Structure 1
């Protein structure tokens, strides 16, 4: 197997840059560059030189002996001065050694997966953690990265193996008297796993929103102050405002951190009847985005003016509070009146929804758990039909176990790996 290397810290000038080296030639290569043997695990301050003996830099060299490293292989990290020229010289030098090459995107993490240091759900969580922008995203990614989903899957797997084993014993002794009726225990084990799976399946949609962001649409008639409110919430001039109705034609999106959650605010075209073809397209798009948004903020003088169905937890406010006198439920993006209250209310609603998220975070997780659940429900029904059908129930249980193994990447996910690791940077 090749030894791989890459810059593990960000590109560009920095105080310190980290270059990572992993594989069977990691320690011998690092020793040659460092001018002497290195400890198999530990750290040393060394002068780094090229193969002609010319000094490149003085660096802290950290060594990690496999399997007690991130990749499970012998690993070395060079903490060099973060000069572009130093980093370039080190990368060029490493490429000169036989059996040592630049890593592919995500290859360090892929080796961690192949060497049993991470399961597939943890790999996905690591990618989510790198991309995390808000506190909620960080917490969610850390939960899965710490092995939360893998631990759940393993517990379910153990229960199902126990249930399948009991049924197999009954099948094996079909022509003899089995001393104990195992049906009640098997039924209880299946029911327990199904009960655990359901909230996780339901919670994936919310968990996906924490990863990708909740959408909050600002909806109303033309010229009620939607764009002004968006600018006030964003704290910048994100949308053009004017006294002319129909200024906003397209959906304008602003990404922000609200109450620790990722939120995309949508400023939509004003809803009205129009003969303007382009404005009409914008209005239809506004309606579609409003229908799919997680939460809508309606600006309207009267609820009767709203021609979209109002859902539970939608927020309805009177616009242009600066032109009104002490009207409850009014807001003004121009003066800021009511804006803080709106931010708190949006945060409260979305945090309440986020609390219903499960540990599973991706559509792939939901599909695997749903497949397992469907098989187990089928097995429960088949068990009621008597011992002569137990072999069918056992196969359903085995299928459920395979689905849970796919959840953490034990089987059947090879075709997913290239796609997953392509989102990683070279040093990860």
Structure 2
């Protein structure tokens, strides 16, 4: 990225809408803008306007008026990027958007690269690297929980924890380095007991952050839930009922669903990804058998498995259903298995369920009449532990952060081992420096590789 250029890009979604916003950032923002923008009041030229003000005027190409616009004025260093920034709000015609961007490019701007605005904010010290990555998470958040985690990280909650750990480690590293300068005099500046206590505290914090990644991954990517069972048990009807739309084809013909059908909804502020799978049965149909194979693959990939059976079949096939439940319990160890007795609206005697005996997580429902779905939704949301989120604890959602925390924990364990073995201060200092490097890589407080930055910000959309 060429950081000295003045850049522009459409910052609202592409396509036609009521309004669109085009952002300019760089040292030549106002000189370039004044070649193409004419304020209706001469006193309101962009370079002379007050910061954080709106200026009304028109975008012109020579004598041709392109559009009447509002321009937001932000003067560096008090702006998102730390540079002079202008945000042009125009009418949402695709033609108008293209004409305004063409004008800006003709007068000295270049098109921004993906994530370049946020990268400039990072390099200007407006945010650290983890906060910059949280911007992307905030844009992509599709549930209340994902939004809450991204906002907490963007405000610096995660950064503050990492910075606190690094500060304490740096202090001890400095004392150990000082000891090396007086090696011949056998002095000890770094209290080893205090260092041991610090290492225990750091281990505890890092371990908690690492453990939070499982919850964070679920919040960010959604909870995969596989709906499995025999053909015609009502799996597609259940999916349609949960989504409140006709997503899957429902017929009386067994084997209608031959491929996995997926869709997402938000329950209790968490995104759930429901997967309607092919009915499990013996079949000679090649296509259906491929679908059944995929069913077992989806079971492996899921966090929650919902086994659906037709409650009417309890009259004649109790042992078959018991065996299917037992087989699934074996296949889903480490996952949550919910057993759903469907079509309860067709059962006159509810005590029929007692034939199954003591089955864990048994929920009677009627997918067709949407009975029992509230209980099912409550059961699903209870499987996701949002205690850390509700208490505003830091939750790790980024795989890069998780990897860096793992590496830093390994470094801390080496320091501990070294102290137990009474190794010299120079080796302790090396391991502490490695821990500092890995913690620093999370927030960008190390010499960060330009390729790594390019990879991180390249995942952003253009205009952010």
CA distance 1:160–1:378, shift in 2 (3 Å): same
Deviation (angstroms), 1:68? 1.0
Show the counterpart of 1:7.
10
Deviation (angstroms), 1:51? 5.3
User: Which whole-Å deviations, capped at 9, do the CAs of 1:57-87 have from their partners, x for residues lacking one?
Assistant: 3332222111111111111112223344433
Q: 2:70 aligns with which of 57, 60, 64?
A: 60
1:408 aligns with 2:459: no
Deviation (angstroms), 1:4? 0.6
Deviation (angstroms), 1:173? 2.9
Deviation (angstroms), 1:348? 2.1
Deviation (angstroms), 1:176? 2.0
Q: 1:338 aligns with which of 342, 352, 372?
A: 372
CA contact (8 A) 1:27 1:38 kept: no
Q: Which moved more, 1:410-419 or 1:114-123?
A: 410-419
User: Which whole-Å deviations, capped at 9, do the CAs of 1:375-400 have from their partners, x for residues lacking one?
Assistant: 101101101222x4222121111001
User: Which whole-Å deviations, capped at 9, do the CAs of 1:252-277 have from their partners, x for residues lacking one?
Assistant: 11111122111110112222333433
Distance 1:209 1:341 in 2: 21
Distance 2:440 2:198 in 1: 18
Show the counterpart of 2:97.
87
Distance 2:283 2:404 in 1: 47
Distance 1:370 1:31 in 2: 51
Give 3-state SS (helix, strand or coil) of 1:237's partner. coil
CA contact (8 A) 1:163 1:185 kept: no
Deviation (angstroms), 1:353? 7.8
CA distance 1:282–1:414, shift in 2 (3 Å): same
CA contact (8 A) 1:58 1:80 kept: yes
1:102 aligns with 2:124: no
CA contact (8 A) 1:159 1:193 kept: no
Give 3-state SS (helix, strand or coil) of 1:20's partner. strand
1:142 aligns with 2:151: yes
CA contact (8 A) 1:106 1:427 kept: yes
User: Which whole-Å deviations, capped at 9, do the CAs of 1:239-298 have from their partners, x for residues lacking one?
Assistant: 222223322222111111122111110112222333433333222221121122111111
Q: Which moved more, 1:302-311 or 1:148-157?
A: 302-311
CA contact (8 A) 1:137 1:211 kept: yes
Give 3-state SS (helix, strand or coil) of 2:114's partner. coil
Give 3-state SS (helix, strand or coil) of 1:190's partner. helix
1:324 aligns with 2:343: no
Distance 1:112 1:416 in 2: 16
Deviation (angstroms), 1:181? 6.3
Distance 1:182 1:165 in 2: 12
CA contact (8 A) 2:210 2:406 kept: yes
After the TM superposition, which residues 265-414 of structure 1 pair with which residues of structure 2 at under 5 Å, given as runs?
A: 265-300=274-309, 302-306=321-325, 307-308=327-328, 309=330, 311=333, 313-325=336-348, 326-327=350-351, 329-352=363-386, 355=389, 358-386=394-422, 388-410=423-445, 411-414=447-450
Deviation (angstroms), 1:40? 5.5
1:210 aligns with 2:219: yes
Deviation (angstroms), 1:193? 1.0
Distance 1:274 1:84 in 2: 53
1:246 aligns with 2:269: no
Distance 1:402 1:251 in 2: 44
Unpaired runs of at least 5, structure 2 = 39-44, 315-320, 354-362
Q: What is the TM-score when the length of structure 2 is the normalising length? A: 0.85
Unpaired runs of at least 5, structure 1 = none
Show the counterpart of 2:142.
133
Give 3-state SS (helix, strand or coil) of 1:391's partner. helix
Between the two proteins, the alignment pairs up a number of residues equal to 426
Q: Which moved more, 1:406-415 or 1:281-290?
A: 406-415
CA distance 1:156–1:381, shift in 2 (3 Å): same
Distance 1:352 1:113 in 2: 30
After the TM superposition, which residues 179-258 of structure 1 pair with which residues of structure 2 at under 5 Å, given as runs?
A: 182-258=191-267
Q: What is the TM-score when the length of structure 1 is the normalising length? A: 0.92
Show the counterpart of 2:84.
74
